[in-house]
């Protein structure tokens, strides 16, 4: 009996080692953020809440004999199984030996991939804006895609020094069309150009996206489409960035169509272990809950945010953030709780 147990243990160990030898390479990263958010909406009772946020991301990759790297990944904390582009779980990425890449399944949108990063508060503060306000807050507000498609990224220095581009396409999921609109497909292009002007590093990003929506009722006047452009300048420890996006968007959960635009600007300054951020966002939207009927009244969203972060130790950052928000819905303030200020104090532990 003892010999049988030893043989069984050896067999299990051998199988385990064989499995490890044949496994793809896996790495992980994540963070745990702990803080307090204090909201003070106009005309509403001030509230405070403890915010505990965690993420744990796993990346898996392996390189073939020909030099092509195949990779994917997922976020354990969110455990997303979404088939739409941009979910917590990613599809497959093929990285070729020349430096180009091809994303397959839940690939995303090439226009959104080239949004320029605009500084803003690093905290988690912010009031909840009424869901009927469709004013955009990000440059990628109309860059939808389905999960059935691809995104191709060119090599660096494509066609010219400092330029890199992407193209993406996705197709119909076959979902039954009802009165609620469904995505039929999308195409998009985007590019980023990086250059130096003396001691300043300049990044210019732009993109164009078109997403087709269909239903069994009246169609939207315009399908979802957008263009965006942004520029960032880094001189030493100072970063200044600004971006603008304009287009038409379609909403599914709350059916609507809207003509919208947004402007973002921000500044970041690093001195020693401290980082100062300041950012502004201004979005406008004319929406209609009746597809095919443009609206004349406007939703607006204006936000000013700032933060100070301090590197306490390796991977540990203390955060103090502040945000002030001012919104209107259909040319009037309809929810005073959507307007006001918010503070955040906390710490982030990354690994």
Over the stretch 316-338, which tens digit does the pLDDT of each residue have?
999 999 999 999 888 887 767 78
Beta strands in the chain (DSSP E): 25-41, 47-63, 69-75, 90-95, 101-104, 149-153, 163-170, 182-197, 200-214, 224-235, 238-251, 256-271, 274-288, 299-313, 316-328, 340-350
Gap between the Cα atoms of 143 and 85, Å rounded:
10
What CATH number is given for 103-350 in this structure? 2.40.160
CA distances, 158 to each of 128, 189, 193 (Å): 42, 14, 10
Exposed e or buried b for every residue in 298-325, given b needs 16+ CB within 10 A? bbbbbbbbbbbbeeeeeeebbbbbbbbb
CA distances, 12 to each of 6, 7, 8, 19, 171 (Å): 10, 9, 6, 10, 46
What per-residue confidence (pLDDT) applies to 174? 78
Beta strands in 125-255 (DSSP E): 149-153, 163-170, 182-197, 200-214, 224-235, 238-251
What per-residue confidence (pLDDT) applies to 128? 81
CA distances, 82 to each of 38, 76, 227, 304, 331 (Å): 32, 13, 26, 33, 36
Those residues of the chain that have pLDDT short of 70 are 1-22, 43-45, 77-89, 253, 335
CB atoms within 10 A of CB 8: 10
Q: Specify the residue for token string 């976020």.
A: 75
Over the stretch 232-283, which tens digit does the pLDDT of each residue have?
999 999 999 999 999 998 877 677 888 999 999 999 999 999 999 999 999 9
- Asked if residues 104 and 91 have their Cβ atoms less than 8 Å apart, the reply is yes
CA distances, 253 to each of 136, 144, 212, 289, 295 (Å): 16, 14, 16, 11, 19
Question: What residues have CB less than 8 Å from 290, skipping those under 6 apart?
Answer: 218
Total number of residues shown for the chain: 351
Gap between the Cα atoms of 78 and 73, Å rounded:
12
What per-residue confidence (pLDDT) applies to 53? 85
- Asked if residues 62 and 70 have their Cβ atoms less than 8 Å apart, the reply is yes
The tokens for 105 are 């399944």
Q: What does DSSP assign to residue 337?
A: G
**CA–centroid distance for 211 within its chain:** 18
């Amino acid at each position: 009996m003892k010999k049988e147990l030893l043989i069984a243990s050896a067999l299990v160990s051998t199988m385990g080692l064989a499995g490890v030898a044949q496994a793809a390479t896996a790495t992980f990263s994540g963070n745990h953020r702990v803080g307090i958010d204090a909201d003070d909406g106009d005309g509403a009772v001030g509230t405070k809440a403890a915010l505990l946020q965690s993420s744990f991301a796993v990346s898996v990759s392996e390189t073939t004999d020909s030099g092509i790297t195949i990779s994917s990944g997922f976020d354990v904390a969110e455990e997303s199984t979404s088939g739409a582009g941009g979910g917590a779980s990613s599809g497959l990425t093929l990285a070729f030996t020349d430096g180009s890449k091809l994303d397959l399944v839940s690939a995303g949108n090439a226009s959104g991939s080239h949004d320029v990063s605009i500084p803003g508060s690093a905290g988690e503060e912010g009031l909840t804006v009424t869901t009927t306000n469709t004013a955009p807050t990000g440059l990628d507000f109309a860059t939808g895609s389905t999960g059935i498609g691809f995104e191709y990224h060119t090599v660096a220095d494509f066609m010219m020094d400092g330029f890199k581009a992407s193209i993406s396409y996705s197709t119909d999921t076959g979902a039954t069309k009802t009165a609620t609109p469904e995505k039929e497909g999308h195409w998009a292009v985007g590019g980023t150009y990086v250059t130096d002007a003396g001691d300043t590093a300049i990044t210019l990003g732009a993109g164009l996206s078109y997403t087709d929506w269909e239903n069994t009722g009246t169609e939207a006047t315009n399908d979802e489409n957008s263009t965006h452009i942004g520029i960032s300048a880094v001189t030493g420890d100072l970063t200044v960035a600004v971006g603008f996006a304009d287009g038409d968007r379609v909403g599914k959960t709350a059916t609507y169509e809207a003509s919208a635009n947004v402007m973002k600007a921000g500044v970041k300054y690093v001195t020693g272990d401290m980082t100062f951020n300041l950012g502004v966002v201004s979005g406008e939207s004319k929406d209609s809950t009746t597809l095919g009927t443009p609206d004349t009244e406007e939703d607006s969203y204006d936000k000013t945010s700032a933060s100070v972060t301090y590197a306490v130790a390796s991977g540990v950052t203390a955060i103090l953030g502040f945000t002030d928000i001012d919104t209107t819905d259909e040319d009037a303030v309809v929810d005073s709780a959507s307007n006001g200020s918010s503070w955040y104090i906390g710490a982030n532990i990354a690994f």
